[in-house]
Amino acid sequence: MGGELSCPVPLPPGGRILLAHGGGGRLTRELVERLFVPAFSNDALAELHDAAVLASPGSRLAFTTDSFVVHPMFFPGGDVGSLAVNGTVNDLAMSGARPLYLSLGFILEEGLAVDDLARVVASIRRAAGDAGVAVVAGDTKVVERGKGDGVYITSSGVGAVVAKQPVSPGRVRPGDAVIVSGPVGQHGVAVMAVRDGLRFSSPILSDCASVAAPALALLEAGLDVHCLRDPTRGGVATVLNEIATQAGCEIAVHESAVPVGEDVSGACEVLGLDPLYVACEGRFIAFVAPGDAEAALALLRARPDTAAAARIGTVGAGSPGLVTLKTRAGGERVLDLLSGEQLPRIC
Amino acid sequence: MRYLDEYRDGSAAQRYAETLRAIVTRPWTLMEVCGGQTHSIVRYGVDEMLPPGVTLVHGPGCPVCVTPVGILDRAFRIARRPEVVFTSFGDMLRVPGSSDDLLHVRAEGGDVRVVYSPLDAVAIAEREPDRQVVFFAVGFETTAPANAMAVKLAAQKRLRNFSLLVAQVRVPPALEAILAEPECRVQAFLAAGHVCTVMGTAEYRPLVERHRVPVVVTGFEPLDLLQGVAMAVRQLEEGRHEVEIQYARVVRPEGNPVARRAIEEVFEVTDRTWRGLGPIPHSGLGVNARYAEFDAERRFPDDAPAAREDPECRAGLVLQGRLRPRECPAFGTRCTPEHPLGAPMVSSEGACAAYWLYRRRRDPAGAAAGAGAA
Amino acid sequence: MCLGIPGEILETHAGPGGLRYGTVRFGGASREVCLEYVPEAVVGDYVIVHVGLALSRIAPEDAEETFRYLEEMQELAELEGEQQAIERSEVP
C-alpha cells in the first residue's frame, strides 16, 4: 500500500485541488489528461468524447450504480477508490454478470492534497486491473472546502450476464443451502478501528476485493445457484433478512458455523458489535440448491480467495421473512434487522 | 477469546439447564439487576433454557435508562453553548429528554463528541484549552472509578476547562426500593457482576438480612447466568438467604479497594431521582466539595425548567421488572429506536432495546418454551 | 455501560499523568488500558477492562469454578433423580 504510483503525477506533488480543477477549463483538462487517462489507459476513455462507445457485450446487460463516501478515505486494506471499483463490480457479479465497464464520477473537496488523489487513482487502477474491468467514462467536480469530505465517488458499472438462469431472490427455495464465501466483519471493523484508535497485533485489513471470479466460477460450473448477495452495510444478518423477505421464505442460521477471524472477534467484543451485522466488502452469500451445495462448497474451498467458505444455514418453508439463529450457547432467537445507523459512513 | 468463549459453551449450558430441571420443585421469580445481563439473557436465550416456573424479571440496571430527564435537559442546554465540547458515551446520544436528544443538538451545531472513556475527555480538554470540555458522567459504581480518575487527572494537570455532569447512581438503594413495592414478586437477585467488582459484597448483607432474599453476584456470559440462577434457586429451595459470588474469577468480597478509595476521594453520596422509579434517597454520587470546581452543575448554573416525561412511556414499570417490553402497548408502535418514548428503547443495556433487537417478533422457541419468555 | 471485557496484559508503561498503563490484547485486537486500579496485575495476567480502565485481575484458579459447580449440580441432579425414583417405587 502507501502511495506508490504507477503513473507520473504532473500536477505539483504537495499541491492542492482547487475549485478551478472542477471548472471545465484548462486545469480540469490537465487533471483528466495527466492523472485520470494515463491511469486507466484504454481506447474508449482515450477518445475523451462526451460518451464512451462500446461493443455491445451480449444479449443481456447488467447495469448498476453506487456512491462511496467512506470516512476515513484511507483504511487498512483499501480506500475509497478500491471500494468504488469493487463495490460496483461485486454488484454486477451478484446478478450473474461478468463486469466489463465502469464510469467514475468524482466530487473533490477544495484543498484535497493532490498526492492523496493520486493515491486513490492508483488504487482504482489496481482494483480495476484485478477485477478485469475498464474505466471508460468519468467526471470531476470540485466543491468548496467544508462542503465535501476529501473524495466522494459515484461509480456505475455494466456487465454481460453469463448466468443461464436468473440469479435473484425470487429463485430461492426451501431447502437451499446458505453459503458464505469467507470470514465476515473485516471491512466494518477495519474502518471502525481507524476511527477508534484500536491497535492490532497484526492489523485487521478490510476484505475489500472483487468477488466476481469465484461467483462466476460457481455459475460457469453449471451449479444450481439461485441467488447471490454481498453483505455490505448491515452485514450478513441484514442480507439474510432482505432475501428472506423478498423470497417469502424462512432462513435458519447456525451462529457457530459463521466464520469470523479471531482478530475481528476480539475487536467486535471491545467495540460492542455483533460480527453478523458488520459490513464485508469482499464476500458473498450464495443460495444453492441442496443437491449442489457440497460441490459449491468444494469449488470455493479449493480457491485461495474463498478457502474459508462455509455453509451457515438453510432456507426453510416456515414464516416468510423470518431469520432465526441457533446461538453458540444453544438457545435460539430471531436474527432481526438493526435499527438506526450502526456504523455511519463505512462505504 | 479466553475467559469469554468457555462461558458460551452450548453443551455446558444444556447440562446446567438439565440439572436445574431436576432440582426445582416450586416456581421462583428472580431478578437480574444489570442491563448487560438482560441483553445476554435475551441474546442467548438463557431464559428459554430455564425449567418452567423459574422466571427472570429484568431490573433497573441500565444507567442510561435511569438518568433523570431533568439532567438530560440540562445536558442539552450545556451542549448548545458555543464554548462547550460536550463528550459522552455513545449510548446517550439517542436518549430523549423532554423534547430533544444529543443527536439533534449535534445536528443543530452543538459540538457533541462520542468518547470511549472519560480519560479521552480529559485528553480533549488538554488539546483544546480554549474550549470548555464537559463529560456526561452517567453510570453505576462500575464507572465511578473511571470518572474519579478523570477528575484527579484533570486536577493534577490543573485544567481549568474540564468538568463532569454527574448522573451516577448506586445499586443497593434501588434494590431496596424495588423490594419495598407491595407488588414486588422478586424472590432473589442476580446482582451486577461488574458493579460488585468495584464495591464488593458488604453493601448487600443488610438487604439480605432485612428482606431475607438471596443475592448471587453474577457475571454476564450464558454459563455465568445459568450458574447464578442455579446458586440462587438452590438457596431458595433450601430456605437459605445469603450473599454468594458466582463471578468468582473477577469479584472479591472486598471489591477493589484502590478503586473505592478513588471514588471516596472525589464523590459523595447524594439523593438521586431515577427516571422511571422516582427519587431514591442516597442512591446517587455527586462531586464532593474538594473537587467542586470540576462539577459542571456548578460551572454552568441554570434554573431548571420543569422536565417533561411522555405520559405513554412505561419505562418505570419495565425497569422495576413489573412489565415486559413486549407487553407495553407502545412497543413497536409509538415507541421504536428511531422514535423512542423513553430511554430503555435506545440504550445498549435497555430491556426494551434487547427485546427489539432479539425478540421483536414471536420467536419460534419462545412460543414453545413459554416459561420466562415473552 | 457495564461492558467489561477480559484481555491479556502484553506490556506496561507510564501513560498520561504518570499513571500506569498497559497494552491489553482482546483476541487479536489490542488497546491502551489504564492499569492504575490493578497494581497487582502483571504482564501475562488477564484483566477485566471497562471504559478504558482495568477494574480487576482475573484469578485463573477461580475461572474453573463454573465448571466445577456444574459437576456438583450434576451430582445433585442425579441424587434428586434417585430420590424421586425411590419415592415413586414406595407409592403403593
Residue A61 predicted with pLDDT over 90: yes
| Chain C residue at shortest CA distance from B228 | C66
pLDDT at C79: 86
- State mean pLDDT over B363-370: 40
Inter-chain touch A329–B44, beta carbons under 8 Å: yes
The reply to whether omega before A72 is within 30° of 0 (cis) is yes
Residues 6+ apart with CB under 8 A from A162: A96, A97, A98, A216, A219, A220
Strands (E) in A110-235, as ranges, are 134-143, 151-161, 177-180, 199-200, 225-229
Residue type, position A303, single letter:
R
pLDDT at B372: 39
C76 alpha carbon, distance to own chain's centre: 25
End-to-end CA distance of chain C: 58
Domain ranges of chain A: 19-161, 169-334
C27: chain A residues, CB-CB within 8 Å = 262-263, 265-267, 269
Cα A222 to Cα A163, A219, A322, B347, C57, distances in angstroms = 9, 5, 30, 49, 57
pLDDT at A167: 95
Among B334, B320, B300, residue whose Cα is nearest residue B161: B300
Residue B198 CB neighbours (<10 A): 26
Residue B205 CB neighbours (<10 A): 12
Question: What CATH number is given for A169-334 in this structure?
Answer: 3.90.650.10
Report yes or no: C2 at the A interface, CB cutoff 8 Å: no
| Chain A residue at shortest CA distance from C52 | A270
Of all residues in chain A, the percent with pLDDT exceeding 90 is 67
Q: Is A224 helix (H, G, I), strand (E, B) or coil?
A: coil
| Chain A residue at shortest CA distance from C29 | A200
What ipTM does this complex have? 0.91
Cα A79 to Cα A119, A121, A133, distances in angstroms = 9, 10, 18
pLDDT at A340: 62
pLDDT at A4: 42
**Mean pLDDT of all residues belonging to chain A:** 90
Task: Name the least confident of A47-51, A90-94, B114-118, C71-75.
Answer: A47-51
Domains defined along chain B, listed by start: 5-60+181-245 (3.40.50.11750), 65-170+255-299 (3.40.50.11740), 315-365 (no CATH)
Residue B274 predicted with pLDDT over 60: yes
Residue pairs spanning B and C at CB distance below 8 A: 153
Question: Which is higher by pLDDT, A141 or A6?
Answer: A141
**Mean pLDDT of all residues belonging to chain B:** 91
**Rounded Cα distance, A135 and A157, in Å:** 9
pLDDT at A322: 93
Interface probe for C, chosen from B23, B119, B147, B164 (most Cβ of C below 10 Å), is B119
Report whether A243 contacts A229 (CB < 8 A).
Answer: yes
- State mean pLDDT over B299-313: 83
Inter-chain touch B357–A336, beta carbons under 8 Å: yes
Among B247, B307, B325, residue whose Cα is nearest residue B97: B307
Which chains, if any, share at least 3 CB pairs under 8 A with chain A?
A: B, C
Residue B308 predicted with pLDDT over 60: yes
Residue B366 predicted with pLDDT over 80: no
Q: Is A233 helix (H, G, I), strand (E, B) or coil?
A: coil
**Rounded Cα distance, A177 and A175, in Å:** 6
Residue B35 predicted with pLDDT over 60: yes
| Chain C residue at shortest CA distance from B219 | C4
pLDDT at B172: 95
Query: Residue A25 burial (CB < 10 Å; 0-12/13-18/19+)?
Result: exposed
Global pTM value: 0.85
**β-strand pairing of A97-109 with B84-88:** unpaired
pLDDT at A346: 60
**β-strand pairing of B28-34 with A332-334:** unpaired
- State mean pLDDT over A72-79: 94
pLDDT at A201: 64
> What would the pLDDT profile of B64-115 be if each residue is shown by its tens digit?
889 989 999 999 999 999 999 999 988 888 888 988 899 999 999 999 998 8
What residues are paired with A65 via a beta bridge? Answer: A156
For domain A19-161, is the CATH number 3.30.1330.10?
yes
pLDDT at A239: 96
Distance from CA of A272 to the nearest CA of B (A): 9
Residue B369 predicted with pLDDT over 60: no
C-alpha cell recorded at residue B166: 454527574
> What would the pLDDT profile of B108-136 be if each residue is shown by its tens digit?
999 999 888 999 999 999 999 999 999 99
> What would the pLDDT profile of A178-217 be if each residue is shown by its tens digit?
999 999 999 999 998 887 767 666 788 999 999 999 999 9
C-alpha cell recorded at residue A267: 475487536
Among B33, B30, B318, B56, residue whose Cα is nearest residue B187: B30
What residues are paired with B162 via a beta bridge? Answer: B133
Residue with cell 476513455: A45
**Which CATH class name applies to C5-58?**
mainly beta
- State mean pLDDT over C6-22: 94
- pLDDT tier at A315, thresholds 50, 70, 90: very high
> What would the pLDDT profile of C24-64 be if each residue is shown by its tens digit?
998 888 888 999 999 999 999 999 999 999 999 999 999 99
pLDDT at B342: 87
pLDDT at A344: 54
Q: What are phi and psi for residue B279, nearest 5 degrees?
A: -70, 135
Report yes or no: A318 at the B interface, CB cutoff 8 Å: yes
Residue A289 CB neighbours (<10 A): 17
pLDDT at B310: 80
DSSP state letter for A206: P
